[in-house]
Chain A
Amino acid sequence: MATPPLPATSRIESDDIRFDRVGHARRRLALDRAASWLLPLLFLVAIFPILDLVYWVSEHAVPGFTWQVIVTNPSGNAGGLYAPLMGSLSILGLATGFAIAFGFFGGLATAEFLGPRSAEMVRITANVMVGTPAIIVGLFGYFAFVIYFGWHLTLAAASLTLGIFMTPYVFRSTDLAYATVPSHIREAAYGSGAGAGQYLIRVATPIAFPQVLTGVFLAMAIGVGETAPLVLTTLQSNLPPTGLFSPSNALPFYIWSGYTSIFPTEIRLAFQAAFLLLIIVVGLNILVRVIAARARKRLEGLFQ
């Protein structure tokens, strides 16, 4: 973090005088006390919706949620969620592959080979790409893969589109992971005669890997729930994808098209799809946290 200019000292002084002039110590302390009680209450704004959401989704999904729901294919307005689940996992797997292919080497190059100024620019482009709305990536995927490449509405088009959406996340975490390898370790490696390749493979990667992994999981957690890129790039199929160029269902897509159905069975399945999606996403998020905490602990050790 760059040090932003300090607030002018004169300002603090004048404020200090104002503290004095406000005078009433009791009132000032009361304000402080009030803030100390009220501000933490704002956490409820975040905590309550999460609990309510998880509770509600579970409440509607768990009754009738049997093994059959997971292993049966959807059929008409009923059936199960096997195809959407397998579709989601397939799309996720392939998209993660794409995102790693694009993002990992990009981040690596940025962290290891670019000078500080150009790395800065590249980081900004990656960060800006993170903010690209999903629907626009979806529209791009539709034009580029569905139309130009002629892949139609298939697994391949959907996964590549989602992969592009996930790329900047992997890119940034890779970049961050390699850029924060402590400089004394880097210097020690080069100083003891290691080449760039040796340094990367033997020294930097073992240190950076957990963090890269964190980024990959994070990208997966974000990618698996994205709906907008899929709506324009794949079809819902009753069967799991049978190949790269076969249509693939996906959990978020199933919810998107099922929630306004006239059939209660289909709405129930949409809730159950939301439940499955929630489990996957929360699971990935917990995994991210665990790995990140471990990586941080390890990194702290290295800094000593």
Chain B
Amino acid sequence: MPESPSPDSSGPPESRQPVPPAAAGVRHILRKVVPYVPALIPLGLTLAIVFTLLYESHLQNFGWAFFGFNFADYGIMIFVVGSFLTSVPALLLAMLIGLGISIASTTYLPRFVSAWLDPFVDLLAGIPSIIYGIWGYFVVAPYFGVNVWPWSVMHLGWIPGFGRAQFSPAPSGDGLALAIIILTLMILPITTLLMRDALRSVPRDLWESGLALGATRWEVTRRVAIPYAKRGVWGAAFLGFGRAIGETVAVAMVIDQAQKLPLNVYDGTSTMASLIIETIDSAFILTPQGVLYLRFLTELALILLAITLAVNIAGRWIIRRTFTEVAGI
């Protein structure tokens, strides 16, 4: 298992700290090198995760079928598509709602009101996904199944994917749409907080000059503040997406797990993460198929990891100088 790589991989630190002039020799090395080693822990752990998974997958070659839709031939596409089908709509919803909330909180609400309301959004981030899961499974799903889905079939049925396809919308209510809704709630805090931070960072002068020109608050927000805070908005989108696509337990509980593409929004499907947690047991069977399936799931995990890493690196690069530590985002 790869441990933390050698410290020199970070390059010589351009120290601008007022560290006293260094002594020569071993002490110098100790002083110059050792303190940097712990800084590499996150990188080391991330690399350890990547290499462990790579090693454990044995780079098993499943052939081109791996990138196909046939799960029976070890195809992953159903789950990749399922992941995107849940996280992209959830992201769009969370971005819209989050933008609205952050505008309300930075622009329209008095400071003391938003100071009371903002923590609710932060608290959403604090609730464990397993609790979202049982709440979604026992409360939201039945409500949607009985009240919302029949209504939506009747009135939104003309939208592709919202109509009745082959079977009636499930009274149990779980499925793709519920997964999207629960995911939206789960990533709402990250998008809201990042956008709120970005909007707060808009200089007062800009605001006031906009208002002085006779623009309304809405117009200043739309034409000055949001363009100014564009990076924060993009960063929120990337990080929110990264969070959504990796969510496991809550999605697995409400998505109505099925290894197939959904026929409509009420239908079940599965994401990469939910497939791993629901079927990892098959990988533990003491048969050759079990071994092969473990490698398959490991490769699927690697692809999920690659997607989240890429999205997170992009997101962090965009907003790299903001510190947002509240609520663990």
| Interface flag for A31 (CB, 8 Å) | yes
Interface size bucket, B side?
35 or more
User: With A126-B42, A128-B312 in contact, do A218 and B328 touch (Cβ < 8 Å)?
Assistant: yes
**Which stretch from A36-44, A67-75, A77-85, A238-246 is at the chain B interface?**
A36-44
Contact with A along B85-107 (1 / 0, CB 8 A): 00000000000010011011101
Question: Are B131 and A277 neighbours in the complex by a CB distance under 8 Å?
Answer: yes
**Which stretch from B11-19, B74-82, B154-162 is at the chain A interface?**
B11-19
| Interface flag for B123 (CB, 8 Å) | yes
User: With A140-B53, A173-B325 in contact, do A47 and B217 touch (Cβ < 8 Å)?
Assistant: no
Which one of B134, B138, B215, B228 contacts A7 once the chains associate, using CB atoms below 8 Å? B228
In the bound complex, residues from chain B placing their C-beta under 8 Å from that of A255 are 130-131, 133-134
User: With A45-B188, A56-B135, A196-B20 in contact, do A19 and B214 touch (Cβ < 8 Å)?
Assistant: yes
User: With A115-B14, A128-B313 in contact, do A164 and B210 touch (Cβ < 8 Å)?
Assistant: no
Question: Are A225 and B127 neighbours in the complex by a CB distance under 8 Å?
Answer: yes
The answer for the CA separation of A12 and B201 in the assembled complex, in Å, is 18
Which one of A19, A121, A131, A292 contacts B246 once the chains associate, using CB atoms below 8 Å? A131
Question: Are A125 and B126 neighbours in the complex by a CB distance under 8 Å?
Answer: no
What total count of A-B pairs have CB within 8 Å? 319
Question: Are A139 and B39 neighbours in the complex by a CB distance under 8 Å?
Answer: no
Query: Could you tell me the distance in whole angstroms from the C-beta of B131 to the nearest C-beta in chain A?
Result: 5
Which one of A4, A36, A143, A167 contacts B231 once the chains associate, using CB atoms below 8 Å? A4
Query: Could you tell me the distance in whole angstroms from the C-beta of A41 to the nearest C-beta in chain B?
Result: 8
The answer for the CA separation of A101 and B224 in the assembled complex, in Å, is 45
Question: Are B53 and A143 neighbours in the complex by a CB distance under 8 Å?
Answer: yes
Question: Are A102 and B327 neighbours in the complex by a CB distance under 8 Å?
Answer: no
Q: Considering the complex, which residues of chain B in the window 115-168 have a beta carbon less than 8 Å from any beta carbon of chain A? A: 117, 119-124, 126-135, 137-139
In the bound complex, residues from chain B placing their C-beta under 8 Å from that of A56 are 135, 138-139
| Interface flag for B41 (CB, 8 Å) | yes
Question: Are A256 and B108 neighbours in the complex by a CB distance under 8 Å?
Answer: no
Question: Are B129 and A225 neighbours in the complex by a CB distance under 8 Å?
Answer: yes
Chain A: CB-nearest residue to B201:
A1
Contact with B along A96-140 (1 / 0, CB 8 A): 000000110110111011111111111111111111111111011
Question: Are A124 and B52 neighbours in the complex by a CB distance under 8 Å?
Answer: no
| Interface flag for B56 (CB, 8 Å) | yes
The answer for the CA separation of A12 and B179 in the assembled complex, in Å, is 41
User: With A46-B188, A50-B124 in contact, do A106 and B41 touch (Cβ < 8 Å)?
Assistant: yes
User: With A127-B312, A136-B301, A219-B328 in contact, do A29 and B124 touch (Cβ < 8 Å)?
Assistant: no
| Interface flag for B61 (CB, 8 Å) | no
Query: Could you tell me the distance in whole angstroms from the C-beta of B77 to the nearest C-beta in chain A?
Result: 19
| Interface flag for B261 (CB, 8 Å) | no
The answer for the CA separation of A16 and B13 in the assembled complex, in Å, is 48
Question: Are B42 and A113 neighbours in the complex by a CB distance under 8 Å?
Answer: no
The answer for the CA separation of A42 and B109 in the assembled complex, in Å, is 12
Question: Are B246 and A133 neighbours in the complex by a CB distance under 8 Å?
Answer: yes
Which one of A1, A144, A167, A285 contacts B126 once the chains associate, using CB atoms below 8 Å? A285
| Interface flag for A172 (CB, 8 Å) | yes
Query: Could you tell me the distance in whole angstroms from the C-beta of B211 to the nearest C-beta in chain A?
Result: 11
In the bound complex, residues from chain A placing their C-beta under 8 Å from that of B246 are 131-136
Which one of B37, B52, B104, B129 contacts A143 once the chains associate, using CB atoms below 8 Å? B52
The answer for the CA separation of A128 and B133 in the assembled complex, in Å, is 25
- Residue picked from A35, A43, A123, A143, most chain B C-beta under 10 Å: A43
Question: Are A187 and B313 neighbours in the complex by a CB distance under 8 Å?
Answer: no
User: With A53-B127, A113-B17 in contact, do A292 and B277 touch (Cβ < 8 Å)?
Assistant: no
| Interface flag for B289 (CB, 8 Å) | no
The answer for the CA separation of A119 and B35 in the assembled complex, in Å, is 13
The answer for the CA separation of A284 and B123 in the assembled complex, in Å, is 11
Report, nearest first, the 6 A-B pairs whose CB atoms are least far apart.
A225-B128, A133-B246, A115-B14, A39-B104, A131-B312, A32-B216
Residue pairs across A and B with Cβ atoms less than 8 A apart, 12 shown, are A49-B124, A50-B127, A57-B135, A102-B38, A112-B35, A125-B46, A129-B46, A144-B1, A218-B325, A252-B128, A255-B133, A274-B134
Interface residue ranges, B against A (CB under 8 Å): 1, 10-11, 13-20, 35-43, 45-46, 48-49, 52-53, 56, 97, 100-101, 103-105, 107-109, 117, 119-124, 126-135, 137-139, 185, 188-189, 192, 201, 206, 210, 213-219, 221, 223-224, 227-228, 230-231, 239, 242-243, 245-249, 253, 273, 276-277, 280, 297-298, 301, 304-305, 308-309, 311-313, 315-317, 320-323, 325-329
Interface residue ranges, A against B (CB under 8 Å): 1-2, 4, 6-7, 11-12, 15-16, 19, 28-29, 31-32, 35-36, 38-40, 42-43, 45-47, 49-50, 52-53, 56-57, 102-103, 105-106, 108-110, 112-137, 139-140, 143-144, 148, 164, 167-169, 171-173, 176, 180, 186-187, 190, 195-196, 211, 214-215, 218-219, 221-222, 224-228, 231-232, 252, 255-256, 259, 270-271, 274, 277-278, 281-282, 284-285, 288-289, 292
